[in-house]
Structure 1
Amino acid sequence: MKIAMANDHAGTALKKAIKAYLEAEGQEVQDFGTYDEESCDLSDFVYPAALAVAKGECDRGVFVDGVGYGSAMIANKVNGIYAVVCQDPFCAQLARQHNDSNVLCLGGKIIGGAIAMEIVKTWMHTDPLTAEKYQRRIQKVQAINDKCCVPVK
């Protein structure tokens, strides 16, 4: 699986650790930056990474900023992105099972490395539930996306 990664200055250290974990698991990572802790604008990195997921160039995304919400807000503006902020493995499990999220956003100032790794591990290894009610709900969200978001070119 190919994973798009992006971060701002507050997420650099955690992104590096997650990237190493994903690569050790055999995932291919496309790192959209930033690569240091110099102050920067999150959208400069998250937007191109979200586009890569939306266009199918990457299968999923993992974005890290200070709290996670900035990444999710930016990513969810892109048609076909279903970004979630997770602060524990249980939320990561449900975000995949119930919502088929394709982007995980984490807060480098909120959670530590050990819990972040468990969140990423859970999110990466959980599939959407196939029961009709979950698929119906996922399809309804996709229909809203298709109605309201401009297709990515």
Structure 2
Amino acid sequence: MKIAVANDHAGFALKEEVKAFLESKGHEVQDFGTYNEEAADLPDFIYPAALAVAEGKADRGIFIDGVGYGSALIANKIHGLYAAVCQDPFCAQLARSHSNTNVLCIGAKIIGSAIALETINVWLTTDFLSDIEKYKKRVDKVTEISEKHLKKLSEI
């Protein structure tokens, strides 16, 4: 799987661990930065990574900042992206199985690397329960909202 990763200065160290973990599992990692712990503006790195997922250049995105919410706010502004902030494996499992998210946002100031890596592993290996009508119906409703209010990249 091709995975876009991005971070701000608060997420740099964890992103480096995440990259090594993903590569050890055979995933292709596209690193959109930042590449050090110097203060950085989150949108400068999350936005290009989010576009890569939206354009199909990456299958999924994993974005890491201080608490995760900044990354999710940016990603969820883009048509076709469904980002969730998950700080534990249980939330990651539900984010995939019930909501079919394609972007995972993690807060490096909230959880340590062991929990982060397990959260990522669960998120990557959990399938959307598309055969269960209530989840499919819920995701379809969210998609309808996106279609109504967000411009497709081809329209920009």
Match of 2:47 in 1: 47
Aligned mates of 1:8, 1:120 — CA distance in 2: 18
| Structure 2: runs of 5 or more not aligned | none
Match of 1:100 in 2: 100
Output one character per residue of 1:87-134: Cα deviation in whole Å (capped at 9) or x when no partner: 110000000000000000000111000000110000000000121111
Normalized against structure 2, the TM-score is what? 0.97
Aligned mates of 2:110, 2:28 — CA distance in 1: 26
1:81-100 equivalent positions in 2, closer than 5 A: 81-100=81-100
AA in 2 matched with 1:116: A
1:16 aligns with 2:55: no
Aligned mates of 2:143, 2:57 — CA distance in 1: 19
Three-state SS of the structure 2 residue aligned to 1:62 is strand
Runs of 4 or more consecutive aligned structure 1 residues displaced over 2 Å after TM superposition = none
Aligned mates of 1:133, 1:66 — CA distance in 2: 33
Match of 2:134 in 1: 133
1:20-39 equivalent positions in 2, closer than 5 A: 20-39=20-39
**Count of aligned pairs:** 153
| Structure 1: runs of 5 or more not aligned | none
Output one character per residue of 1:57-111: Cα deviation in whole Å (capped at 9) or x when no partner: 1000000000000000011111111000001100000000000000000001110
Percent identity among equivalent residues? 64
Normalized against structure 1, the TM-score is what? 0.99
